Chains A and B, each alone.
Chain A
């Protein structure tokens, strides 16, 4: 591959996992209480996909990385302040809902349409990356729907490793049952990869990368078109947090031996 890849990473924002989430009912369906006030982060699996894209770009000269992100513009801007310092990319934002209650089909349609609208995107070099699930909807369906709309037949989910071979083919490791990986060889682009965690550490903040990214990120956010998401025929009859609160017995006065005895009996029951 002499000209590199065109990697499009799909990734949106989710509430910071440390936040308490409380569902509320709105005229358009369930939502999170104070959703716009909650601190947000880039969806963790999508973030892995972005880091893997940057890693691949560093090895294949001429590669370009886009981050297509559907979410409220103000929240996207906030998250980009952090993410943009990590790796180089061109942001393609769409001002819309990033709710976990949004329909995967509607989100996928919007993502696919946005990808198709990227100027200069070369399908023969196209790799679509994303998280295999999100920390919001957690459907594990959106990327496949995007792939179908883009007519990509080589799709991989739960990807932990992508290795480019000497002949330009990819060796792909996908998570399967029992802590194992399925190994596949794909001839090359176009292909779609829903990433699991991969093996890369989180890149360190690099202010120079941040400054370079922000030259394009801010104008892109200003240009972002606002698109309402259709409900896609999905209706919520209820949305509620789990009710179970356990009565925890805190044991402070037993010796290690006594605790071991108690646990052994519990395991054996």
Chain B
């Protein structure tokens, strides 16, 4: 049975691009459209989508729908829900694919309810088998992987980044985008909330770098008593920050470490709950991960599900990392190793090319 597929996207904060990983979802949408013999519609939300529409015009969608205007510039539930609902209704889509950005994670479940449809989030794979769409997602915080299908339509699927090949425009001649703008007038009740801005740490203390090649995780051991019976938080902080600076790595923390700030214990000043990786933290996606002073217990390691290459430095040879959770466990003092490592990397950076600049999108 032919299916209408809608690729739904919002413009990024800069206002003239899509979030980078949206092109992965566009790639997945095109693949499914082909497999199912369906029709693809692109839906865009933002203050002005004209530039963005040009970038996806060559994808070959039947229609490009948009809801535009100042009301749709920022990520507000009421306005985003109205915009997404209008696009979905106009597209008459059976399957709606979108990137799991914070903006869409906030709003698309509500849209599914308005459409009498259903929603699934954090989907890591999507495939068509004998005309049936199957989605893969994790349950119990990355501890059980489920493959599901849904009877209800429309079905909104929010895909995680890094799971599909991104669509790349290979056409040399540009296609002019024909945008069908759908008028949406917000009721007064939808404007009770005003987005006033973004609060971010200063760039020199920003430690979360989702595009980094390496995740560096600090465990509670950094703040515990060392061999001389004293804590060395004053040494731990510069060691970790130096490492982040020379490698461009993203910083993660174990729950026990980030919780210490709420328990009036010695803490690393730059470590917050936003850095927390694991059962009640994030599940970041980086090619490599290096754990230090962390025992590698299951509630933490579930946050490493999408880290491919894993190494750990810990004094305990029987810690969780040794039990099949890391590729290499170095039984050593992380203070000593990191000091040597920083010196080595700094020397290499002085004599070699600069490390690649790292962006900061999603953790």
Contact = CB atoms under 8 A, between A and B. Distances in A.
Q: Do A and B bind each other?
A: yes
How big is the A interface, by class? 35 or more
A184 interface: yes
B273 interface: yes
The SS class assigned to the B binding surface is mixed
Nearest to A171: B196
Given A178-B210, A240-B145, A247 B279 contact: no
A39 interface: no
Contacts of B208: 178-179
A157 B105 contact: yes
B70 interface: no
Contacts of B178: none
Contact of B362 (A23, A178, A185): A178
B340 interface: yes
A175 B144 CA distance: 26
Contact of A184 (B121, B196, B324): B196
B245 interface: no
B196 to A, nearest CB: 5
> By CB atoms of chain A within 10 A, which of B189, B324, B341 has the most?
B341
> By CB atoms of chain A within 10 A, which of B298, B311, B321, B325 has the most?
B311
B274 interface: yes
Nearest to A147: B110
Contacts of A30: 144, 146
Given A100-B140, A178-B361, A234-B148, A267 B193 contact: no
B198 A181 contact: yes
Contacts of B106: 144, 155-158, 174
B97 interface: no
Contacts of B121: 139-141
Interface string B122-150: 10000000000010001111111111111
B311 A263 contact: yes
B231 to A, nearest CB: 20
A257 interface: yes
A226 interface: no
Interface residues of B, number: 106
A156 B141 contact: no
Contacts of B214: 267
Contacts of B262: 199-202
A177 B210 contact: yes
Given A153-B192, A180-B198, A254 B330 contact: yes
A176 B102 contact: yes
A252 B332 CA distance: 7
Nearest to A158: B102
Interface stretch (A13-21, A74-82, A213-221): A13-21
B151 A233 contact: yes
Interface in A253-267: 254, 256-257, 259-264, 266-267
A256 B119 CA distance: 50
A237 B149 CA distance: 7
Interface in B274-312: 274-276, 279-280, 288, 290, 297-299, 305, 309-311
A117 interface: no
A76 to B, nearest CB: 19
A182 to B, nearest CB: 6
Contacts of A268: 348
Nearest to B341: A260
Given A178-B362, A239-B145, A140 B122 contact: yes
Contacts of B114: 148
Interface in B52-110: 74-78, 81, 101-103, 105-107, 109-110
A154 interface: yes
A256 B333 contact: yes
Interface string A99-129: 0110011001000000000000000000000
Nearest to B151: A233
A30 B247 CA distance: 43
Contacts of A37: none
A7 B35 CA distance: 48
Interface string A181-204: 111111110000000111111100
Interface in A195-245: 196-202, 232-242, 245
Interface of A: 14-15, 17-18, 20-21, 23, 30, 44-45, 100-101, 104-105, 108, 135-142, 144-145, 147-149, 153-158, 160, 171, 173-188, 196-202, 232-242, 245-252, 254, 256-257, 259-264, 266-268
12 contacts: A17-B141, A23-B144, A145-B109, A171-B196, A177-B360, A177-B361, A182-B74, A182-B75, A236-B146, A248-B328, A249-B327, A251-B331
Given A30-B146, A176-B102, A250-B322, 8 more contacts: A104-B119, A141-B112, A178-B360, A237-B134, A239-B145, A241-B144, A249-B328, A259-B337
Interface of B: 74-78, 81, 101-103, 105-107, 109-110, 112-114, 118-122, 134, 138-152, 189-190, 192-201, 206-210, 213-214, 247, 259, 262-263, 272-276, 279-280, 288, 290, 297-299, 305, 309-311, 313, 317, 321-333, 336-341, 343-345, 348, 360-363
Enumerate the 3 nearest inter-chain pairs by beta-carbon distance, A residue then B residue, closest first.
A179-B208, A233-B151, A201-B262
